[in-house]
Structure 1
Amino acid sequence: MDDVRDKMIGFGDDEEEIIEEIGINRKPTIPSLRQRNSQLNALESMHHNEEQEKMDEIRSVLKDRRKGKAKKGVAFDAEMVPSGGSGDGLRKRGGGLLSSSSGATGGEDGQETFGDSYMVVEFSEEASSESVQWIIDKIRGKKVDGGAELLVRKEPLTKETQSLVLHISATQMKFLEIADDMGFMKRSKTGIIRNFNVACLDDFFYDENMALEDILTPADRQIIIKYALENIRAAEHEHHIPGTKIQLYHGQSIIQAAQHKEIITNFYSLHCKPRLRKLRHVWIKPTKHQPIDEIRDYFGESVGMYFSFLGFYTYALVVPTVLGLLQMVLSEETETVPF
C-alpha cells in the first residue's frame, strides 16, 4: 500500500512538471462571494492609490519644471499618464449631497475625491429600483465591464419629490483620460489648437502660472461628463434594461435609451453661483471690455464666440449711428416717411 501511495505522489509531481513545461494554464477555482467582494475592494483600493500616485508624480514634474529643474518642453512618459452648453436647464449647484454613495474610482466615502458636481441625472419616481441600480452600476463600473468609471453622489429625498437625483463627477485623472479618448481640442503652448494628448501633457501649459487643474475649464468638464455618460453603451449580451421591457441593441447608448423611455426625466449641467457672481462683477460694467476668456471658460466656446461677435457688432454700429444722428440734426427739412 505504501508503494502505491509513493507512486501516486510521484505521478502527481511528474504531472506538475509536465504542466509547467508545456505551459498549460491551470483550471481556475471559483471563489466564494465573500472572496470576490474582497478582491474587488482590494482592486478598487489599488486603482485609487495608483491614480493618486500618478497625479502626485505629474504635479512633481510640473513643480520641477517651474523651478527650472526639469528641461523645458519635456513630454510626460506614457506610462506615467495613461492614455486613454449650458442652457435653460441650468440650475444652482446644490448642497446637502450624501457622501455615502461614491464612484468606483473614489475613496470609501467619496468625500475627498468627488469635488464639484458637473452633471445631474434625475430618475422618474416610477422607475424600478432594479433598473436604477443597473444604470448606476454602469456609471460607476469599470471600463473593461462597460462602465464609465465616474463618481456618483445622491441627493437625499425631499417631501416635494421622491425621485432619485444623482450628481456626477470624475477624478482629475479620469477627466484627462476621457479628454484624450474623445479627441478634445485644446490650446497648446505654441498657440495652436490641437487634439489633447495626455502623454504630452506639458505641451498644454501655455502659461507659466497654470496649474494641472487649469488645463480643462468648467465648460470642458461638463462636456466631458456628458460625453462619458452618453458613451455608456449596451454590450452584446445586454438585450434589455433590467426591471423593464425596454429593448437594447448592441452599441446603443443606455442613457439616451433611458431618457427616451422616461426612466431618466432630467439630464442637465449645473451653475456655480460664486463663479457666476464673480463673472457678473466684471461683466456688467459698461466702461470695460467684455471678459471674453472668462465667458468662454465658463459657458463654452460657442457662447464666448457669440458675445465676442456681439461686442464687435455693437462697436461697428457706432459710426453709422453717429452719422445718422448728425444727418437728422443738420437736415433743414424733415420729411415724414410713411410705412
Structure 2
Amino acid sequence: MFMNFRRVRKCKFLQIVFTCFILSALMLNWEQVDHHVVSHVKSYSYRYLINSYEFINHSFSISHEKATSIGNFPYLMDHKDTCRGQDVLLLLFIKTSPVHFLRRQVIRSTWGNQTYINRELGVIVKVVFVMGIQPNGGRAIQKQLQTEDQIHRDLVQQAFLDTFHNLTLKLLLQFRWAHANCAHARFVMSADDDVFVHVPNLVRELQVLSNQGVADLWIGHVHRGAPPNRRKDSKYYMPFQIYQWSSYPDYTAGAGYVVSADVAAKIYQATLSLNASFHIDDVFMGICAITVGVSPQQHVYFSGEGKAPYHPCIFEKMITSHGHVDDVRYLWKVATAPEVNGISSGFFGQLYCTAVKIKLLCFPYFLNSYSCKAAFS
C-alpha cells in the first residue's frame, strides 16, 4: 500500500512538471502561435467566404509603359533561334543561379537531356536555363558562364541581380522570352534547379492533353487561401503597404508548374499591365492569372516544397519532386528503371501500390510533397 502511494505521488509530480513545461512553452511562443492561427483563419475566411479578388486589377494595375519598363534589362546571353522551325511540345525553363554550374550539368545529363528526350520519347522539349547576374560575382563567373554557354547554348541571362527578391524578374523573363521566341510551344514549364522532373511521365501526360486540345491549363501544387507572411524576420515577409488583404489568390508552388500555350500568352499580356515589383514570384503568377481569368488546377503528383518518397509505386506516376541536388543521378536511374513501368497494373498490382501509397502519403512522413489523394489515383 505504501509503495502504491509513493508511485501515485511520483506520477502526479511528473504530470505536474510536464504540464508546467507545456504551459511555459506555449506562453513563450504564444505570440507566434496566435499569429499563425489568426492569420490562417482570416485568410481562409477571406478565400472561401468573401472569395473576391477584384481589388487586384485596381491595386496592381499600372500603365503599359511602366509595366514594360520593369524587367526591361539587356540580355547578356540569348538564343532567339532555340525553337525556330521545330514542333516543340514543351518549353522547359529552369530557374538557376549563375554559380550552380554542377546542378545544370547534372540536369543536362539526366532529366533535362534533350537528345534522350527526342530519341527515346519521340518529342521535342527545349530546355532553357534562365538567370540574372551573380551579386559580387565579378568577371570570373561571367567568363565561366560564357564558356558554358558556348558549349551547350542553353543559357538565357539578363542584367539584373540574381537574388531572392528579384525572382519575379525571372518570371517576366520566362514569359516574355517565350512570347518572343517560342510562342508556338504547346506547353511551357517553369522549374527550379533543385527540382527533379520525371520527364517521361510528364511527356506522356502532355501528349494526351495535347491530343485532347486542352486549353486554360495551369497545373501544379496549388496553394489556396494562403495568408501573407507579416513576420519581418521571414524572407517571405509581405508589408501591409504592398499587400493589404488577408489572403493571396490561388497559385501553384513556384518550384514547378506547367501551363498550356494559351495560358502562357495570357500571362504575358498580364505582365504588360501589372506592377511586377511584387517580389514573391509564384504569388505574382497568381495575381497575373486572376486578372486574365485563369485558375490553377491541383495535380497530385506535383510536389510542393518537399521531397517525394522513394518507391517504385511513386515513381510510376511522379511528375516533380523538390529538394534534389546530390541525388539527382540516382533518382533518375531508379525512377526510370524498366521495372517501374506497369508496377500497379492488374488487380494485385493496384492493390499493392494503393496500400504502399496510403502508408507513405496519408501519414505525415513526407510533408508538402504529394497529398493523400495521390494514393487513390
Q: Which one has the bigger strand percentage?
A: 2
Shorter chain as normaliser: what TM range? under 0.3
TM-score by length of 1: 0.23
The structure with the largest alpha-carbon Rg is: 1
